């Protein structure tokens, strides 16, 4: 395994985090009559020059960046790429941004944002690849509508990804893996392949992936390759 970027938790004490936020935050703003007071800002225009020093570097999208360990290692291992995270829990966004600022990352940024609102502010064919790893499973059927993974979500990702760009997925929930595979098959905008850990392109882990590995909890890795518009 390659050398890792290790977060100094004494310098950056991680805050106590509630697992869930207001359930309405997981729903698109356009589908609600009134937004809750702490609803993530709805982004309509990107501020690339404020987010990254070199806006011409290839863009990577990390959806649900959580505590930021994967995103920070991503930016550290790939200084030639810009890594943009979106996360629904503002307390984690603020903490990750403190690390980014304190460690002087110029190719990493995290936005407080609900992926349910889509990525209209990201240009067509501008994302080299995206990651959506160990997403909140929302296991109860009545809560499935809170899952960001949907047909509009996939259509938007296919639009922003470069032709044949990759969407990397990981989950330790069999029902989530089945739902995502079924949705991708129905959508027909991607070709899905399950990956062996040896074929996983990242040497660094998310917190949940690390937890699963240490506790011998099985998890699955996938790569969905976007079809080009003329495929």
Instruction: State pLDDT tens for residues 122-158.
Output: 999 999 999 999 987 555 554 445 567 889 999 999 9
Which candidate, 12, 199, 4, places its Cα nearest to that of 99? 12
Active-site residue list: 136
Cβ-in-10-Å burial (0-12, 13-18, 19+) of 182 comes to: exposed
DSSP-assigned beta bridge partners for residue 190: 226
- Residue 17 is predicted with a pLDDT of 80
pLDDT digits (tens, 9 = 90+) for 24-76: 888 889 999 999 888 999 999 999 999 999 999 999 999 999 999 999 999 99
What superfamily would CATH give domain 57-166+176-226?
A: Vaccinia Virus protein VP39 (3.40.50.150)
pTM greater than the 0.85 cutoff: yes
Domains of the chain, by residue range, sit at 57-166+176-226
């Amino acid at each position: 395994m390659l050398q890792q970027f290790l977060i100094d938790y004494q310098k950056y004490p991680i805050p106590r985090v509630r697992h869930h936020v207001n359930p309405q935050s997981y729903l698109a703003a356009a589908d609600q009559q009134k937004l809750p007071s702490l609803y993530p800002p709805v982004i309509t225009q990107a501020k690339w020059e404020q987010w990254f020093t070199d806006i011409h570097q290839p863009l990577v999208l990390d959806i649900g960046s959580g505590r930021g360990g994967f995103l920070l290692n991503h930016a550290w291992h790939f200084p030639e790429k810009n890594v943009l995270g979106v996360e629904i829990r503002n307390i984690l966004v603020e903490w990750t941004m403190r690390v980014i600022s304190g460690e002087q990352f110029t190719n990493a940024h995290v936005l407080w944002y609900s992926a349910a609102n889509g990525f209209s502010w990201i240009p067509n064919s501008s994302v080299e690849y995206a990651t959506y790893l160990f997403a909140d499973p929302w296991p109860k059927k009545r809560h499935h509508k809170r899952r960001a993974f949907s047909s509009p979500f996939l259509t938007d990702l296919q639009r922003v990804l470069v032709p044949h760009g990759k969407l990397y997925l990981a989950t330790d929930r069999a029902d989530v893996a089945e739902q995502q595979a079924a949705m991708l098959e129905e959508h027909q905008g991607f070709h899905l392949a399950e990956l062996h850990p040896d074929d996983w392109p990242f040497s660094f882990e998310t917190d949940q992936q690390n937890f699963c590995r240490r506790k011998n909890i099985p998890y699955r890795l996938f790569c969905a390759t976007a079809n080009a518009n003329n495929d």
